[in-house]
Amino acid sequence: MALGARPDGVRRHNRSTLLRRLHTLGAGSRTELAAELGLNRSTIKALVDGLAAAGLVTERAVAPNGTAGRPSLLVSPRPESLCVLAVDVAVERITVALVGFGGRILVGRHRPVQRGDTEPTVVIERVAAVAEALSLGGLRPAEVAVSVPGIVRRADGLVHEAPNLRWTEVPLGTLLGEALDLPVAVGNDADLGALAEHRRGAARGVGDVVYLSADIGVGGGVITGGLPLRGSTGHVGEVGHMVLRPGGRLCYCGCRGCWETEVGEQALSRALGLPADASRRRLVAELRTIAEKQDTMHGRLDEYAGWLGVGVVNLVNLLAPELVVLGGLLAALPPDLLAGVEARARDRSLVGRAAARSVRIRPAELGGQASLLGAAELAFERVIAAS
């Protein structure tokens, strides 16, 4: 125990640490939990007994593998015992899900919307309707978290700017909190995608990660030393607005030659010879066709792949990640193209060469649920810390 630490404070800390471990990694025996958390057996027993009495965990006996002795008790989180409401606001859809302790989606609702029709009032009404339906079934979330494709002030959930939603200075956290009478957190979609992939997806166990996601825009999230990179204001990851082609196409931000003008949704549509307003579904289908016909891939996507590689090389030089995870439309790119971008990141970046060409590029594992699950993780962070 640290000098001056109060016993009740230590107990709360140990309880939160155990809850976080069970939520993130799932079930474990008492012996495993004691070893992982550096606690003695009596402390673990007291903590588990308390969580079981509160209905947060269950225990069941597991026979030892081929050895004599008493069965060990496996401690598992009860998903329905502690829930949060996760919301993902995208340009063409609003998704709301009740996520349980342990990270499993218990109930999900998905609503397609027309581009430009995602008004803040629509989001609030949709989330409130789902929350009311859940409460009628006896399920009430402890907290709400929302993923938004824009620049967000984490302290109060103010969305400074979300151009693709046509939002400016929207106090979403305050408005939604008043409508639901619940605490509300709001985060950037790419930041939350990075958080989810790090805890539950392609980047599990990796300490330094860059997550890139391309849809209408291009966003990024950064994990460094196992923790999200926030910056002084919390506005980190606007990688789509790195100016890589001075004098290039005009970006909505007012600059010319931003990276997302070369690798965003419209750039991919151009490369594939599709209309600028081609749907995401059509883009993904076209990419799958190209992956099956590898002889035609390079002629159609060479320039696109080149600009993707230029941006990734810059990020590898700047942030030195072990892994680059590609989400959104980038996750649907043909494997041969991704292999080429990985080779470029290893061979053309000083950091990549210094790290013995060990930088890896992988598609995201969580698909379209990454930002939604990241929102759930954001909410659980606050709930567990307060437990």
Nearest to 239 by CA among 190, 304, 306: 190
Q: Which secondary-structure segment (H or E) carries 209? A: strand 209-214
Instruction: Say how far apart CA 251 and CA 249 lie, in whole Å.
Output: 6
Residue-range domain boundaries for the chain: 7-77, 81-191+370-386, 204-365
Give the domain 204-365 fold: Nucleotidyltransferase; domain 5 (3.30.420)
What is residue 1's predicted lDDT score, i.e. its pLDDT?
45
| CB contact burial 200-223 (16+ within 10 A = b; e otherwise) | bbbbeebebbbbbbbbbbbbbbbb
| Strands of the 105-112 sheet, one edge to the other | 105-112, 93-100, 83-89, 144-148, 184-188
Residues 6+ apart with CB under 8 A from 21: 28, 33, 36, 37
Residue 271 to residue 228: CA distance in whole angstroms: 33
In this prediction, residue 386 carries a pLDDT of: 86
Residue in the structure block whose two tokens are 């579904």: 281
- Over the chain (387 residues), the average pLDDT of each successive run of 10 is 64 95 95 94 94 94 66 89 95 92 92 79 89 81 95 93 91 96 95 97 96 93 94 83 94 92 94 90 90 69 94 94 96 93 90 78 95 98 90
- Report the CATH number of the 7-77 domain: 1.10.10.10
Domain at 81-191+370-386: CATH code: 3.30.420.40
Q: pTM above 0.85? A: yes
Give the pLDDT of residue 269. Answer: 94
Domains 81-191+370-386 and 204-365 share a fold: yes
pLDDT at position 42: 93
Q: Which two tokens stand for residue 254?
A: 């007012």
Positive or negative torsion for Cα 112, 114, 116, 119: negative
In the chain, what's the furthest Cα-to-Cα distance?
73
How far, CA to CA in Å, does 192 sit from each of 28, 110, 127, 145, 237?
A: 26, 19, 19, 10, 11
